[in-house]
Amino acid sequence: MMNSEDWLFMMTSAIERRIKQHVHAPVHTWFAPCSPGLEPVLARELASIEAAEITEIPGGVEFKGKLELAYRANLWLRTANRVLMRVAEFRSRAPEELFRHTKDVRWETLLPALPLRVEVSLHGSRMTSDSLIERTLRDAIRDRLDEQSVPRVREAVAEGPNQLLLVRLEENRVTLSLDTSGELLHKRGYREETAKAPIRETLAAGILLAAGFDGSAPLLDPMCGAGTFPIEAALIARRLPPGLHRSFLFEQWPSFKEATWRHLKTKALEQTLAAAPHPIFAQDLNSGAIAATRANAQRAGVLADLTLKAADFFSAQAPEGPAGWIVCNPPYGVRIGDHEDAGRLYGRIGSKLRGTYSGWRFAIVVPEPSFYGALKLPEESRLILPHGGLKIGVTIGRLSEQVEPTPAS
C-alpha cells in the first residue's frame, strides 16, 4: 500500500515532468499590451530581444518564444504595460463548453499558489454575464486542480499579489491569458516623487525611442518635472534594463527557473555602460521639480548621468557642445501666468526652439491639435498617445541648421 507521503511525492514529480514538457519545452504565444500608438516601437524592442513571429495588433504586440523569452521581455521592454502568456484559445457559446475547455488546460503546471484575480472582457459574445463566466472558470480550474491534488486557488485579495487571469470573449472565441508581470511595467520602482502631470515611464521611453534616441548624442529636457524623460534616457543610453531592480509574477510560478533568471540578469549587467556616453540635461523652472528629479534619478541609479539645473527655458542658452535631442512635455492647463494662454506658450516654445536649438532633433508633447500651428516646427512624424484621459500628440523632427533670430519674449 502506498502511504500519503509517497503518493504526494509521486503527484509532485508527475507535475514537475508535465511542467518540463508543457511549459519549459514548447514555444508559447505571448502578448505585450502597450499604449495605442506605441505598437511599432514595442515591436522593434521585441525584435531586439529576439522574439519570433512579432505581430502588431491594436493595443499591443503578439510574439512567440519559449518561457525564457517572457523573462527577457519583462526585464528589457521599456514600452510594454505587461507580458501575458496566451494559455488557451477556443470557441464557446455556452457555460458548459467554457467549463469543459477551461478544465482541459493544465492549470497545475501554470498557476502559482496565489489568489486568482479574473478579469473578463466581452466583445459581442453570446455569453453576456461577467459573473457567470468568472464562476464557470473558477469552478473548472478548481475541479482540475482537485483532480491533480493541487491546493485550491483562493479568491483575489485587495492587498498583496494576485495571479491575474484575463478572459477575452470576442464573438464566442475565448482567449485565456495569464499575466507574467505582476505590477504594471511602468512601475520601475524609481519614481516616488512626482511633479505636476508626470508622464508614464513607458510613454516617456516610447517617445524617446520613437524619436530615435539611443544615447549617441546629448539630450535635454528643459521642463523635466519629476525627471521621467531624463531618467528613461539615461537607462536607454547606458543599456540598463528597466526591470533590473523589481520582481515579477513569473518568479512565483511553479515553472520558475531561478538559475535562468539570474543568468539573464548577470548577462544584462555585463553589457551595460558604466556611464552615459553623452550628457543628459534635466532643467526646470521650479527647484522643487529639480529636487524630485534628483531623488528619482538617485533611486534609478542614474544620478551621475544627469546634469541638473533650475532654469527658465525661455532665457536659458542651449548647452555647449554638439546638438542632440530636445524632449519636452510643457505644462498643460490653459493658463500659464496671468495673460498668456497655452496656445501662445506653444508659439513661444516653437520660436525659442527654432532660434536656439538649430540642428537639434526634437520630440515635443502637444496636448491640443491647434498648437501644432503655433509651434511651427519641421515635423517629420507624429505620435498620438493616451495620457491622463486625454489624447496627446508628440511632434517629432529635426530643427534646421539655420539659426532664426530669437524674438524678444
- 213-232: string of b/e by CB count within 10 Å (b at 16+)? bebebbbbbbbbbbbbbbbb
| Nearer Cβ to ligand SAM (253/313) | 313
| Nearer Cβ to ligand SAM (182/198) | 198
- How many of the chain's residues bind ligand SAM (CB under 6 A)? 23
Indicate which single residue of 182, 225, 243, 319 sits in contact with ligand SAM (rule: CB under 6 A). Answer: 225
The CA distances from residue 15 to 18, 151, 234, 272, 383, in Å, are: 5, 13, 44, 38, 47
Determine if 356 is a binding residue for ligand SAM (CB under 6 A). Answer: no
Q: How far is the CB of 349 from ligand SAM (least distance, A)?
A: 9
Scanning 116-124, 127-135, 262-270, 311-319 for contacts with ligand SAM by CB under 6 A, the matching segment is: 311-319
Determine if 318 is a binding residue for ligand SAM (CB under 6 A). Answer: no
Indicate which single residue of 98, 114, 199, 217 sits in contact with ligand SAM (rule: CB under 6 A). Answer: 199
Q: How far is the CB of 186 from ligand SAM (least distance, A)?
A: 11
| Nearer Cβ to ligand SAM (196/278) | 196
- 219: closest CA among 206, 203, 202, 231? 231
The angle at the Cα of 221, spanning 215 to 222, to the nearest 5 degrees, equals 150
User: Strand 116-123 to strand 163-170: parallel, antiparallel, or no bridges (unpaired)?
Assistant: parallel
The label of the residue with cell 548624442 reads 217
Determine if 223 is a binding residue for ligand SAM (CB under 6 A). Answer: yes
Q: How far is the CB of 220 from ligand SAM (least distance, A)?
A: 11
Q: Which residues pair with 95 in a beta bridge?
A: none
Residue 217 identity = A
Number of Cα atoms under 13 Å in the Cβ half of residue 312:
4
Determine if 314 is a binding residue for ligand SAM (CB under 6 A). Answer: yes
Q: How far is the CB of 187 from ligand SAM (least distance, A)?
A: 14
Indicate which single residue of 99, 213, 281, 313 sits in contact with ligand SAM (rule: CB under 6 A). Answer: 313
Q: How many residues does the chain have?
A: 409
C-alpha 201/C-alpha 345 separation (Å) is: 25
User: Strand 173-179 to strand 219-221: parallel, antiparallel, or no bridges (unpaired)?
Assistant: unpaired
Residue nearest to ligand SAM (CB): 225
| Nearer Cβ to ligand SAM (90/314) | 314
User: Strand 280-284 to strand 219-221: parallel, antiparallel, or no bridges (unpaired)?
Assistant: parallel
Q: How far is the CB of 82 from ligand SAM (least distance, A)?
A: 21
Indicate which single residue of 61, 98, 289, 308 sits in contact with ligand SAM (rule: CB under 6 A). Answer: 289
Scanning 81-89, 181-189, 250-258, 280-288 for contacts with ligand SAM by CB under 6 A, the matching segment is: 280-288
The CA distances from residue 215 to 30, 126, 259, 356, 364, in Å, are: 29, 51, 31, 21, 18
Determine if 187 is a binding residue for ligand SAM (CB under 6 A). Answer: no
Binding residues (CB under 6 A) for ligand SAM: these are 195-199, 222-226, 228-229, 284-286, 289, 312-314, 329-332
